[in-house]
């Protein structure tokens, strides 16, 4: 295939996958347009620490323009995609169309509520910095309102946190919220005792961390329970509102409900006119292209991709990064007239989850690690994959400070609802 000018590569999404494609083509004779609806690249694996006041937003996010500043073949646009027209080869933004010769969709996913989208207002998910700061605000406002509550029942509701979903995000949130209440806040209040905070982790399946070996799932449950977390397995949420949740016949009154169960992919399938799977993902070919569309690649959480043995590639950062690097190589080979790689195979980098201070689990092939050694390896791995040296130093310093003194320095209540705190409110803590 020949082009009248430099090939125009449009990448939608500046997450792990999209950024890997752009960086992999950094020296190619192409014109790259990198589009994202946010102006920053986010290190999502540590997002829960922003939500629980362990880190500040700037510790885990970097402006995309700054990351691309030395890559002269790349233009960055902040905008939200409304549609894709494969026939005309244009991506439609609110500001107008962007033409492409080759398109890469790396648009990620959001949490799904199993057809009950109205629950999202009462049980926010955790995918963006806005989500994290909103959750932090809810959590901290609940403690402030409990301090002023005259009714013990209302104070108990304000000090109850329900987390829905027993995957890595739910487990990490539950452990971090328990430690926030029982360690970091314990001396900050005079009326309430934050150690009385009730943290409930709800999982519809038979065990936590379903993708991990069973022995690590059992260890995770025991470790959470030692932190004071109530673990409810085999229980699905049947109702959710401002007053709390219902698990079948059991009602749990809670001011804060957090959602970490199930994901729904971006609208990429509908943009392309492709039948999605149940989670909205685009079923891709072995080389990660959209079916029947040879100029469009789909990667990351947006793609339903499988290894040659039929195993589904998980929606985690290492997969997206490897897919992005593969697509960059495939595009470079195609433009050079070489045969592109025919099949992407995910090289397993293991599964990691932290449970709390000095507790984590790691599964890598036949290796099983848990407890304190796993916690240090988990921390080292996450620091290593942070984008800049500055952020690595900041995060390490924050963690060492928290480890030594049981403090969390990012306990700021900002944004709408930060003023006019009142107790006895019937609505959610953001109300």
Q: Is 162 strand, coil or helix?
A: strand
Main-chain phi, psi angles of 374, to 5 degrees: -65, -35
In whole angstroms, give the CA distance from residue 375 to residue 175: 13
Q: Tokens 């407890």, residue? A: 371
Integer CA distances (angstroms), 97 to 14, 124, 390, in order: 19, 32, 37
Tokens encoding 266? 């971006």
Q: Which residues are catalytic?
A: 172
Main-chain phi, psi angles of 138, to 5 degrees: -60, -50
Q: Which of 85, 372, 90, 108 is nearest to 219 (CA)?
A: 372
Strands (E), 13-167: 31-36, 40-42, 61-63, 74-78, 81-85, 90-93, 96-99, 102-105, 109-111, 160-164
Q: Is 358 strand, coil or helix?
A: coil
Q: Which residues pair with 35 in a beta bridge?
A: 12, 77
In total, the chain counts a number of residues equal to 431
Cβ burial, residue 246 (10 Å; 0-12/13-18/19+): middle
Q: In the chain, count of helices (H) and strands (E)?
A: 11, 24
Q: How many CA atoms lie within 13 A of 104 on its CB side?
A: 36
Cβ burial, residue 347 (10 Å; 0-12/13-18/19+): exposed
């Amino acid at each position: 295939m020949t082009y009248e000018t430099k090939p125009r590569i449009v990448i939608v999404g500046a997450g792990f996958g999209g950024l890997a494609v752009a960086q992999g083509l950094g020296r190619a004779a192409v014109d790259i347009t990198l589009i994202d609806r946010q102006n920053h690249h986010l290190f999502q694996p540590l997002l829960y620490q922003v939500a629980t006041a362990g880190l500040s937003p700037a510790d885990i996010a970097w402006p995309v323009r700054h990351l691309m500043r030395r890559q002269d073949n790349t233009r960055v646009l902040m905008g939200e995609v409304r549609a894709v027209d494969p026939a005309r080869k244009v991506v439609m933004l609110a500001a107008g169309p962007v033409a492409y010769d080759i398109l890469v969709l790396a648009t990620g996913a959001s949490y799904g509520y199993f057809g009950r989208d109205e629950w999202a207002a009462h049980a926010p998910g955790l995918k963006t910095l806005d989500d994290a700061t909103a959750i932090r605000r809810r959590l901290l406002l609940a403690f402030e309102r409990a301090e002023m509550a005259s009714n013990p029942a209302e104070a108990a509701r304000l000090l109850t946190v329900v987390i829905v979903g027993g995957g890595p995000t739910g487990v990490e949130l539950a452990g971090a919220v328990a430690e926030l209440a029982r360690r970091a806040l314990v001396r900050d209040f005079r009326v309430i005792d934050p150690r009385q905070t009730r943290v409930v982790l709800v999982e519809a399946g038979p065990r936590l961390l379903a993708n991990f070996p069973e022995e690590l799932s059992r260890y995770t449950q025991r470790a959470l329970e030692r932190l004071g977390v109530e673990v409810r397995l085999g229980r699905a949420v049947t109702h959710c509102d401002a007053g709390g949740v219902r698990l079948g016949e059991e009602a749990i009154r809670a001011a804060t409900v957090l959602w970490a169960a199930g994901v729904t992919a971006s609208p990429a399938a509908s943009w392309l006119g492709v039948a999605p799977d149940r989670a909205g993902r685009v079923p891709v070919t072995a080389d990660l292209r959209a079916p029947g569309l040879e100029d469009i690649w789909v990667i990351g959480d947006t793609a339903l991709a499988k290894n040659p043995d039929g195993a589904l590639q998980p929606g985690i950062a290492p997969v997206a990064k490897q897919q992005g690097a593969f697509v960059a190589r495939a595009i470079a080979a195609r433009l050079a007239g070489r045969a592109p790689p025919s099949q992407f195979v995910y090289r397993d980098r293991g599964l990691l989850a932290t449970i709390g201070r000095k507790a984590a689990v790691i599964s890598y092939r036949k290796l099983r690690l848990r407890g304190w050694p796993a916690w240090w390896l988990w921390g080292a791995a996450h620091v290593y994959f942070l984008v800049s040296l500055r952020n690595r130093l900041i995060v390490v310093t924050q963690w060492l400070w928290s480890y030594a003194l049981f403090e969390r320095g990012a306990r700021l209540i900002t944004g709408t609802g930060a003023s006019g705190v009142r107790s006895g409110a019937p609505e959610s803590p953001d109300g």
